[in-house]
Amino acid sequence: MSDLETTERVLPSNAPGEDVAFEILGDGDFPTAEMSLSIGPAHPATHGVFRIVLDLDGERVRGARPVIGYMHRGFEKLAEYRDYRQIAALTNRHDWLSGFCNELGVAIAVESMLELEVPDRAQWIRMLMAEWNRILNHLMFIGSYALELGAITPMFYAFREREDIQHLMESATGGRLHFTYNQPGGVKIDLPKGFLKRSAEISKVTRERFDDYVDLVLGNEIFQGRTVGVGPLPQDVALSLGITGPTLHATGIAEDSRVTEPYLKYGDIDVEVPLGENGDAFDRFYVLLHRIRASLDIIDQIHDHMPAGPVNSKLPKMVKAPEGAIYVRTENPLGQLGYWLESDGGRTPWRFKMRTPSFSNVQAIPYLMQGALLPDAISILGSVFFVVGDIDR
Amino acid sequence: MSDVLARRDRALSPEETEELLRDRLGDGLQRTVLEYGVFTVWVEQDAWVQAATLCRDEPLLAYDMFDNLFGIDAREEGFDVVAVLYSTSTGNRIALRTRCAGGRDEPTCPSITDIYRGADWMERETWDMFGVDFPGHPQIGPRILTVENFEGWPLRKDFHLASRAAKPWPGVKEPAELDEDGNVIERVPHIGDAPGPYDLDKAMAEQAQAMNPRPELDGPEDDDDADDEPAEVEAGPDDDPTVSGAEKAEARRKAQAEARAKKAAERAGGDGDEGAAQLDQDVYDQLIAEGKSERIARSKAKAAYIKAQRAKEGDA
């Protein structure tokens, strides 16, 4: 609320010599009213069925309460009724923009429990696909985040690249979104002829076009105005909330499971983790964008390493994980995905807990929005990068 | 990157961690398990908050990142709550596990939201899924994932999956299901279901053909079928420019089917004469004389014959 007791005289600097002065009543604030604004569950800025209730004082956000669960499909329960090989079809649906990376976790978990040996070629193929999937995911968010801030063009550029990459992945897996290409022991089928050549071509083209995005979005003055200094996240809060992925890297913490706990063959290659400094919306987007370049670097290294050989190993007719629990963490495009797989020795898991990155990351929204302006709220909401299915599971 | 990895040298091994925790928690620490690279520490319910605080604040442990918290059904003994913590400085991960007090009826577990902010929603989810109450949580309700008026605790084992109760498995048999003798029942994929490389496709197609041979056409019966609509065949597929492409194709198809039927009839033997007997020989000879092909002549002659037959029946 404005304090009307004080007054202030302001001389406009652009009219020198003229005797014009403005008198501002109060402390410069408008008298405001408090209100509660519900955004969603079906709102374009929330990309999915996600609702957020903002407590506003004028244009100032005093509190934000995300309401989730509109898309809860009970994957954890469904997994308890399915064979270990069938879970992959469930997991590539919770975060529909990174289906391949999701399947990876469950395949690794089952393999570790069964002590299955995965052929080298399968591991490299998995990495290649995971990185392409990561780029697919990030391109989507580059397009949609710019769209939320009023720029429609990057979306078209992003989808041009996405189409190429989806064609590439489709040629090997048969899927554009839900790949179901992993199976315990390797991948379903070998790469088709000419895949690596095409992959190298697309990698080259995407790298050339990468500068377009930097110029189009990062260099844009309006984009900078909407994001720089908006919604800063301190490191300790981020860690305490369990935030991972680009949102964590933007705060300057290089915690990436591909580096700190290498799975597959990530230990054999150089993985660059782009970092931000301030943890604000601009840094989050900067990190997301530069992760594309980092992934392209990884893809080029994979092309050099790809060995020949079998792509899967023979599974027993009945997959029964021995009694015990395993926790597998993989670096998903949006953050770290953790699967806790507890087996009682039966055909189906006893407990299959999905620790999804979006669920943890969205928890930061109330903190980030506290005290922000309403137009910045959209900028913050988009910059946390979440998929609603990944929150609700 | 290198500075992160360099600090890994200071990381405590699981044994050292256990020693440290046992020193601080005393009897609060029940046992530790190290399997598949996951270091699980079972703690007493009373020591739960203390253990979490210790993990965060002890400089040697420094589990600064809250990873995960969830419940597990522990059969008749109630429910377990597991909190997974990670240290960005040492790269260690620990899973704290405790058995909830109150058995299956009123399970409770102290909240650790004061220690780790991220526990807030995770505990709400655990309450939503298992009905485990977390005293000390700022606001456990309303239900976070299920609808507000949902009844029951979905992830408890005594909560049955409705679709599975109605229909055991949408298919013939569950995958890897055993029959009475303990053998694995293999599901036979039905044909045309397996995409794959060209060789496999070919093999599948051949197999499909071998298993589903084209049904052998029955000569005389098929003749009758063809005879039902003689007018179209009569039009002649190639002669009349006014008939549309679709009609032409239709006529051609019929003619081919007829030819096949003829052949089949010939193969069957003895039926040949009968087939010839059904022709109007005058019309046939006339058409052949006009230079029409044998096929067209036959079909028109047959049509004429049938017309004549029907006319006779009409008269009778």
Q: For residue range A208-239, what is the model confidence (pLDDT) as tens digits?
A: 888 888 888 888 888 888 888 888 888 888 88
Domains identified in chain A, total number: 2
A69:B196 CB<8 A: no
Pick from B77, B81, B61: nearest CA to B122: B81
User: Quick check: is A125 in a domain?
Assistant: yes
User: Quick check: is A379 in a domain?
Assistant: yes
pLDDT computed for residue A82 by the predictor: 81
**Is a pLDDT exceeding 60 seen at residue A14?**
no
In this predicted structure, which of A46-60, A92-106, B151-165 has the lowest mean pLDDT? B151-165
Kindly state the tokens that stand for A244: 């991972």
Residues A108, A235: one domain? yes
The residue that leads in pLDDT, B183 or A347, is: A347
pLDDT computed for residue A298 by the predictor: 92
Q: Which CATH code for domain B2-157?
A: 3.30.460.80
Task: Give per-residue pLDDT as tens, A245-295.
Answer: 899 999 888 888 888 888 888 888 988 889 888 888 899 999 999 999 999
Running DSSP on this structure, what letter comes out for residue A355? E
Residue B151 identity:
E
Distances (CA, A) of B264 to A20, B183, B215, B233, B278: 108, 46, 12, 19, 16
pLDDT computed for residue B194 by the predictor: 45
User: Quick check: is A167 in a domain?
Assistant: yes
**Is a pLDDT exceeding 50 seen at residue A174?**
yes
> Are residues A337 and A358 in contact, defined by beta-carbon separation less than 8 angstroms?
no
Q: How confident is the model at residue A130 (pLDDT cuts 50, 70, 90)?
A: very high
Q: How far is B55 from chain A (nearest CA, A)?
A: 12
The residue that leads in pLDDT, B82 or B242, is: B82
Kindly state the tokens that stand for A203: 């990698």
Calpha distance B55→B86 (Å, rounded) = 9
User: Quick check: is A39 in a domain?
Assistant: no
Mean pLDDT of B172-186: 59
Kindly state the tokens that stand for B93: 């991960």
Calpha distance B86→B64 (Å, rounded) = 6
B73:A239 CB<8 A: no
**Is a pLDDT exceeding 70 seen at residue A63?**
yes
With a pLDDT cut of 90, the percent of chain A lying above it is 9
pLDDT computed for residue B245 by the predictor: 61
pLDDT computed for residue B222 by the predictor: 43
**Is a pLDDT exceeding 50 seen at residue A148?**
yes
User: Which among B66, B164, B186 is the nearest to A242, CB-wise?
Assistant: B66
With a pLDDT cut of 70, the percent of chain B lying above it is 67
Q: Could you say which residues from 355 to 384 on chain A have a Cβ atom under 8 Å away from some Cβ of chain B?
A: 355, 359-360, 363, 367
CB atoms within 10 A of CB A30: 10
Q: Whole domain around residue A4: which residue ranges?
A: 1-31
A308 touches chain B (CB under 8 A): no
* Helical packing angle, B48-57 and B14-25, nearest 10°: 120
pLDDT computed for residue B230 by the predictor: 44
User: Which among B72, B144, B196 is the nearest to A189, CB-wise?
Assistant: B196
Residue A317 identity:
K
A240:B66 CB<8 A: yes
DSSP letter for each residue of B247-263: HHHHHHHHHHHHHHHHH
User: Which among A69, A112, A367 is the nearest to B145, CB-wise?
Assistant: A69
Determine the residue among A260, A326, A332 to mutate to test chain B binding: the one whose Cβ has the most chain B Cβ atoms within 10 Å. Answer: A260
Residues A20, A122: one domain? no
Q: What kind and span of H or E run contains A362? A: helix A357-362
Q: What is the mean pLDDT of chain B?
A: 74
Mean pLDDT of A5-14: 61
> Which phi and psi angles does B144 have, rounded to 5°?
-85, -40
**Is a pLDDT exceeding 60 seen at residue A296?**
yes
Residues A25, A89: one domain? no
CATH code at position A264: 1.10.645.10
Residues A243, A333: one domain? yes
Give the alpha-carbon dihedral of B12, A251, A264, B42, to 10 degrees.
40
CB atoms within 10 A of CB B153: 21
User: Quick check: is A50 in a domain?
Assistant: no
With a pLDDT cut of 90, the percent of chain B lying above it is 4
Task: Give per-residue pLDDT as tens, B139-162.
Answer: 887 888 888 888 888 888 887 776
Pick from B239, B226, B249: nearest CA to B292: B239
Calpha distance A85→A102 (Å, rounded) = 14
Place of tokens 């253990």: B51
> Are residues B232 and B300 in contact, defined by beta-carbon separation less than 8 angstroms?
no
Kindly state the tokens that stand for A374: 């309403």
A81:B196 CB<8 A: no
pLDDT computed for residue A19 by the predictor: 60
- Residue B11, SS3 per DSSP: coil
A353:B70 CB<8 A: yes
Q: How far is A242 from chain B (nearest CA, A)?
A: 5
Nearest CA in chain B to A339: B68
Residues A20, A98: one domain? no
pLDDT computed for residue B82 by the predictor: 92
CATH 3.30.460.80: which residues of chain B? 2-157
Task: Give per-residue pLDDT as tens, B53-83.
Answer: 888 888 888 888 898 999 998 888 888 999 9
What end-to-end distance do the CA atoms of chain A give, in Å? Answer: 41
Pick from B171, B177, B168, B206: nearest CA to B189: B171
CB atoms within 10 A of CB B92: 20
- Pair type for strands B93-99 and B184-185: unpaired
pLDDT computed for residue A187 by the predictor: 87
User: Quick check: is A120 in a domain?
Assistant: yes
Burial of B158 (0-12, 13-18, 19+ CB in 10 A): exposed
pLDDT computed for residue B228 by the predictor: 45
User: Quick check: is A48 in a domain?
Assistant: no
Kindly state the tokens that stand for A242: 């369990």
Distances (CA, A) of B236 to B227, B278, B303: 15, 19, 12
pLDDT computed for residue B224 by the predictor: 44
User: Which among A76, A86, A324 is the nearest to B175, CB-wise?
Assistant: A86
A259:B195 CB<8 A: no
**Is a pLDDT exceeding 80 seen at residue B286?**
yes
Across the strands, what pairs with B83? B69, B96
**Is a pLDDT exceeding 50 seen at residue B234?**
no
Residue A197 identity:
K
User: Which among B40, B72, B88 is the nearest to A239, CB-wise?
Assistant: B88
pLDDT computed for residue A18 by the predictor: 57
Across the strands, what pairs with B101? B108
Place of tokens 């105005």: A225
Residues A7, A86: one domain? no
Q: How confident is the model at residue B300 (pLDDT cuts 50, 70, 90)?
A: confident
Residues A19, A144: one domain? no
pLDDT computed for residue B195 by the predictor: 45
User: Quick check: is A206 in a domain?
Assistant: yes
Burial of A160 (0-12, 13-18, 19+ CB in 10 A): middle
Residues A156, A91: one domain? yes
B154:A86 CB<8 A: no
> Which phi and psi angles does B98 have, rounded to 5°?
-140, 155
Q: How far is B8 from chain A (nearest CA, A)?
A: 10
Residues from chain B contacting residue A318 (CB–CB below 8 Å): 176, 184
**Is a pLDDT exceeding 80 seen at residue B170?**
no
User: Which among A317, A359, A360 is the nearest to B176, CB-wise?
Assistant: A317
**Is a pLDDT exceeding 50 seen at residue B29?**
yes
